[in-house]
Amino acid sequence: MLEKTGDRLRRGSKTKLRLRVVEDGRARVRPDSLATEEPMEMRLVSGGVRQTVAVTMRTPGADFELAAGFLYGEGIISSPEDIRKISYCVDADVDAEQRYNIVNVELRGGRDYDLRTLERHFYTTSACGVCGKASLEQLELRGCPVIPPGPEISAETIYSLPQKLREAQGLFEATGGLHAAALFDAEGNLLALREDVGRHNATDKLVGWALLERRLPLSDHIVMVSGRSSFEIMQKCLTAGVPIVCAISAPSSLAVDVAREFGMTLVGFLRGSKFNAYAGFERIQLEPRANHR
């Protein structure tokens, strides 16, 4: 059984302050809330060796899901059984202010983890200049399978997703400054949503939740992100087995390449009763009247 320690003590996702609002040449003071942004260091612990594998700027909250989702998406772990314990770093030599910005992921013993290889893998696949062709080849070398056919989703279901996502974004309503990644079933029912200042982090939190809840692979599901879709978003969804990815804004060219290469449906510019289908149109069911136009 996976042991999770200290997540109840995580820092707040909102930071309160007072500001001055200037309107019609006059200033007034009022309270406000901002999305908290702090660094989080992820450390792997295996065989007595502790090594930092990533540092990300994130909104505190669901930190353990973020770490698990990131490690799964990067191919470092393949199941929740690979993790023995996730905990905050409360070592005496760590400044008290930073203890909840460091997450230790202890891997189970008796398995072959080459942490040096994992470190190279992380820096290679981060968004710092690796070419698109190499990125796609790397997914193939990792053994990421092509997503099988199905499910078929009605256009009406797809139209309904942005409103459902927005209504569930509690932190966005309070701060106006967060991205979201949401998981829906094939009927458009919202199953889970995670928020963060970063789109990638929100997706990692969502995948991490699914991993720790033993819901992977996410076949017959839809993931929707509040911003644009990128290679990293598609990579994380692909490794989680997601067949349909929707986004409010545009995809990148490499995101489209991933979708077409691995049999995923990619929807962008989803607003109102209109969207663009960049790949996998065979999963989208049009209304009968639309077929006769």
142-147 LR contacts (CB < 8 Å, sep 24+): 142/75, 144/238, 144/239, 144/262, 145/262, 146/261, 146/262, 146/263, 147/238, 147/241, 147/242, 147/243, 147/262, 147/263, 147/264
267, 248 contact by CB (below 8 A): no
Residue 13 CB: number of other CB atoms within 10 A?
A: 21
Shortest CA distance to 278 belongs to which of 291, 287, 252, 293? 252
Q: Which two tokens stand for residue 222?
A: 């839809």
* Beta strands at 14-23 and 3-5: parallel, antiparallel or unpaired: unpaired
Candidate list 128, 144, 237, 246, residue with the active-site label: 128
Peptide bond into 217 cis (omega under 30): yes
The answer for residues whose C-beta is within 8 angstroms of residue 47's C-beta and 6 or more apart is 109, 113
DSSP 192-215: EEEEESSHHHHHHHHHHHHHHTT-
Peptide bond into 151 cis (omega under 30): yes
Q: Which two tokens stand for residue 257?
A: 């390449």
Can you list the alpha helix ranges (DSSP code H) found in 115-230? 115-125, 132-141, 155-168, 170-175, 199-212
The answer to whether 246 is a known catalytic residue is no
Pairwise CA distance, residues 147 & 242, whole Å? 8
DSSP 59-85: -SSSHHHHHHHHHHHTTS-SSGGGEEE
**Residue numbers annotated as active site:** 128
